[in-house]
Amino acid sequence: MTENIIKSLKKRDSRTISRCISLVENQEPSYLEFLSSIFPYTGNSYRIGITGAPGSGKSTLTDQLIKIILEQNLSVAVIAIDPSSPFNGGAILGDRVRFVNDFKNKNTFFRSMSTRGAQGGLAVSTKLVADIFDACNFDIIIFETVGVGQVEIDVIEAVDTVVVTLVPESGDDIQMMKGGLMEIADLYAINKSDRQGADRLYTSLNKTLELNEYSDWSPDIIKTIATNSKGIDLLYKSIMRHKDFLGKSKVGLRKLNQRYIKTVKSFISNFLIDEFWSNKIDNHIKKELNLDYNKRISPYEMANTLLKK
């Protein structure tokens, strides 16, 4: 049975892929066994994160990258993370899904994910879905995320190459640079680079990077105009240059190991918490709720009391 599923995944049968994603997202009964069964077939896809402020053209950039990847006869799956849609299934991306799936071959697959679908948390679900794509032997998996909230950071830390997209003359970008994006970026795309201020942004970013020479890797800065397909080939080359670097420097292996450890830890956390709450201790809290708020024992004391039981 599982063998058949794995075969279908390897053929990138889109119905099988969708069914497996639902299984994992909804944490259906057998999802953990399923994940275990595909695990031996994972670890091969190259994972790229595209992140940056809203409006910086991440989705257009991603679409252009898809084209270049397909031209190399490589396959690519895209996970668009949309935490801003907590309550619906990311349906706003409908048009996009149609566009990307228009390539009409089995070398590409597009999936948007929002908080709502993700039972065990969006960051965890995203990574598990990536493992499904990994088992499908997609050469590349792109994670496209808006901004850098906690979920995005959790996701981004687990990819191989992080591309940060910036736009000239956007105060947001400067803030994001100052705010720490520089420490997760493996390379930069200055998108909409036909706009005024592109050169200035390039120069200032370049200067800042020179000051930050703390690692063996020096990030490229690529000027792109995604809507005109300009600079995308350079962007792709730069990503591949980083891939080579990872392979040679063992940073890549470290990333892979961190991903493994994090997944183990998140499973353990969920198991511990599920087990604890399945015991009937909620009545104890309910009694306390009948008291006026500030007559209750503090949440910390309540937690201790419950743990001692």
Site for a second copy in 139-168 (CB under 8 A): 146-153
With H, G, I as helix, E, B as strand and everything else as coil, classify residue 223. strand
Structure-token pair, residue 48? 């790229």
CA quadruple 293, 294, 300, 304: dihedral, nearest 10:
-80
Sign of the CA dihedral running 225, 226, 229, 231: positive
Please state at what angle helix 251-278 crosses helix 122-135, rounded to 10 degrees: 120
Of 115-144, which residues contact a second copy (CB under 8 A)?
115-116, 121-123
Check residue 263 for interaction with a second copy (CB under 8 A): yes
Question: Near a second copy by CB under 8 A, which window of 100-108, 160-168, 198-206, 287-295?
Answer: 287-295
User: In angstroms, rounded to a whole number, what is the distance separating the alpha carbons of residues 230 and 224?
Assistant: 5
Report the first-to-last Cα separation within the chain, whole angstroms.
43
C-alpha separations of 81 from 221, 223, 233, 298 in Å: 24, 24, 24, 37
Nearest distance, CB of residue 257 and a second copy, angstroms: 5
C-beta closer to a second copy: residue 57 or 83:
83
Q: Considering only residues 53-72, where is the footprint of a second copy by CB under 8 A?
A: 53-55
- DSSP letter string, 233-258: HHHHHHHHHHHHHHHHHSHHHHHHHH
Q: Kind and range of the H or E element at 188?
A: strand 187-190
Binding a second copy by CB under 8 A: which of 57, 83, 117, 231?
83
Of the candidate spans 202-210, 219-227, 239-247, 271-279, the one that interacts with a second copy by CB under 8 A turns out to be 271-279
CA–CA dist 260, 262 (Å, integer)? 6
**Minimum distance from residue 121 beta carbon to a second copy (Å):** 7
By rule CB under 8 A, what string of x and - marks binding of each residue 211-250 to a second copy? ----------------------------------------
Residue nearer to a second copy on the CB measure, 89 or 197 = 89
Choose the stretch contacting a second copy; rule: CB under 8 A; options: 22-30, 42-50, 197-205, 221-229.
42-50
Options 15, 279, 294, 309; binder of a second copy; rule CB under 8 A:
294
Which residues lie across from 164 on neighbouring strands?
A: 51, 188
Strand 221-223's sheet: what is its strand order?
108-113, 76-81, 140-146, 46-52, 161-166, 187-190, 221-223
Q: Which x/- pattern, by CB under 8 A, does the window 174-193 give for a second copy?
A: -xx-xxxx-xx---------
Query: Is residue 172 a contact point for a second copy (CB under 8 A)?
Result: yes
Q: Does 300 bind a second copy (CB under 8 A)?
A: yes
Please choose, out of 10-18, 27-35, 70-78, 210-218, the segment that lies near a second copy by the rule CB under 8 A. 27-35
If the CB atoms of residues 121 and 197 are measured against a second copy, the closer one turns out to be 121
CB of 116 to a second copy, least distance (A): 7
